[in-house]
Amino acid sequence: MMRSRLVALIPHAVLILAVLLFAFPIWIAIAGSTQDSAAIARGDISLIPDPAGLGVYRDVLVNGSAGAGPVWRALLVSAGMALVIALGKIALSLPSAYAVTFFRFPFRMTAFWLIFLTLMLPVEVRLIPTFQVMSSLDLINSFTGLTIPLVASATATLLFRQTFLTLPDELVEAARMDGAGPLRFLKDIIIPISGANIAALFVILFVYGWNQYLWPLLVATDPKLDTVVIGIVKMIGVDTATEWNKVMATAVLALLPPVAVVLLMQRWFVKGLTEGDK
């Protein structure tokens, strides 16, 4: 009896430890954001948040800090970018996966392998040529230039293809007998059936888009196009005194939208996964 209790306790202890490890830095950021910047710089962070310092959130949202514009704008840019990237990737990869799975055309597998190959060439690897292309198209310092190069996605295409491959051939055939053309089949059958996958992908891709750093840093020098991630970095001054409470407040703010997306969509795709009969 004692033994089995102990066995049950150990996994829990490990889990609690892991949660603490993950949550502690976030707690420091929350607590730190309400405290005096100079105290943080000295390393005197109290683990108890000071309610009096909560005004910093309003302050960074509206005014920003030295070196960076107001955070509300950066949040907007980030949200716009993450949304365009996530939705764009889905809108592009769904039809391309549909094409390579259900249609017979010359060089079908070549097309598939070419898409697959780009998995090995993430943005960071093709940074210079992509920048060159954007520059020739005069898209530097534009929202288009910020988002479009990140929209193509081999991962999503691959994921959709694997889902489509599990659909029985008879389903396609039944739809053909019912008179559904390719676009109708996509709209009426494929997209509704892939709902859970789309939700799951949206979560992953939104977070991916939100966390982009290198590409925005390179392609958008206009402060109006600063994402919140870029904004945090800009706040950490090299020669001026860094307002650490503002940095932490911004970090906490930057954390909220992805968390919200995960929480909201989680209900969706867990529902989709458990109800699935595919």
Partner 1 sequence: MAGLRLEGLRKSFGANEILKGVDLALADGEMLVIVGASGCGKSTLLRLVAGLESPTAGRILIDDQDVTGRDPSARDIAMVFQNYALYPHMSVFDNMAYGLKIRGLPKSEIRAKVDAASSLLGLDALLDRKPRQLSGGQRQRVAMGRAIVRDPKLFLFDEPLSNLDAKLRVQMRGEIRRLQRRLRVTSLYVTHDQVEAMTLGDRLLVMHQGVPVQLATPTEVFERPADTYVAGFIGSPAMNLLPGILGRNGTVVAVEGTEIPLGNRRFARPDGHPVTLGIRPEHVALDPAGTSWPVEVVELLGSEMLVHAGRADGASLTLRLPNGAALSDTVRVSFPAGQLHLFDRATGLRLEAVA
Instruction: Please report whether residue 192 would count as binding partner 1 according to CB under 8 A.
Output: yes
Instruction: Please report whether residue 273 would count as binding partner 1 according to CB under 8 A.
Output: no
User: Cα(first)–Cα(last) distance of the chain, in Å?
Assistant: 43
Instruction: Please report whether residue 274 would count as binding partner 1 according to CB under 8 A.
Output: no
CB closer to partner 1 out of 172 and 265 = 172
68 strand-pairing partners: 65
Does residue 234 contact residue 220 with C-beta atoms inside 8 Å? no
Instruction: Please report whether residue 193 would count as binding partner 1 according to CB under 8 A.
Output: yes
Instruction: Please report whether residue 188 would count as binding partner 1 according to CB under 8 A.
Output: yes
Supply the minimum distance, in Å, between the C-beta of residue 170 and partner 1: 4
Closest CA to 79 of 126, 146, 149, 27: 146
Q: Name which position in 20, 44, 122, 176 contacts partner 1 (CB under 8 A).
A: 176
Q: Give the interface segment with partner 1, choosing from 8-16, 125-133, 184-192, 224-232 (CB under 8 A).
A: 184-192
Rounded Cα gap, residues 98 and 115, in angstroms: 13
Contacts of 259 by beta carbon, 8 Å cutoff, 6+ apart: none
Quote the distance between the C-alpha of residue 224 and its chain's center: 21
Rounded Cα gap, residues 258 and 265, in angstroms: 10
Tell me the number of residues near partner 1 by CB under 8 A.
21
Instruction: Please report whether residue 173 would count as binding partner 1 according to CB under 8 A.
Output: yes
CB closer to partner 1 out of 44 and 173 = 173
Supply the minimum distance, in Å, between the C-beta of residue 186 and partner 1: 13
Supply the minimum distance, in Å, between the C-beta of residue 193 and partner 1: 6
Secondary structure (H, E, C), 150-190: HCCCHHHHHHHHHHHHHCCHHHHHHHHHCCCCHHHHHHHHH
Instruction: Please report whether residue 165 would count as binding partner 1 according to CB under 8 A.
Output: no
Q: What sign for the dihedral angle of Cα 77, 81, 82, 87?
A: positive
Instruction: Please report whether residue 170 would count as binding partner 1 according to CB under 8 A.
Output: yes
Instruction: Please report whether residue 178 would count as binding partner 1 according to CB under 8 A.
Output: yes
Instruction: Please report whether residue 186 would count as binding partner 1 according to CB under 8 A.
Output: no
Which 3 state secondary structure label does DSSP give 65? strand
Supply the minimum distance, in Å, between the C-beta of residue 188 and partner 1: 7
Rounded Cα gap, residues 72 and 64, in angstroms: 8
Closest CA to 201 of 72, 89, 49: 89
Q: Give the interface segment with partner 1, choosing from 14-22, 48-56, 89-97, 187-195 (CB under 8 A).
A: 187-195
CB closer to partner 1 out of 191 and 259 = 191
- Per-residue b or e along 92-126, where b marks 16 or more CB atoms closer than 10 Å to that residue's CB: ebbebbbbbbbeeeeeeeeebeebbeeeeeeeeee
Q: Name which position in 174, 259, 263, 270 contacts partner 1 (CB under 8 A).
A: 174
CB closer to partner 1 out of 22 and 105 = 105
**Amino acid identity at 27:** W
Q: What residues line the site for partner 1 (CB under 8 A)?
A: 168, 170-171, 173-180, 184, 188-189, 192-193, 195, 275-278
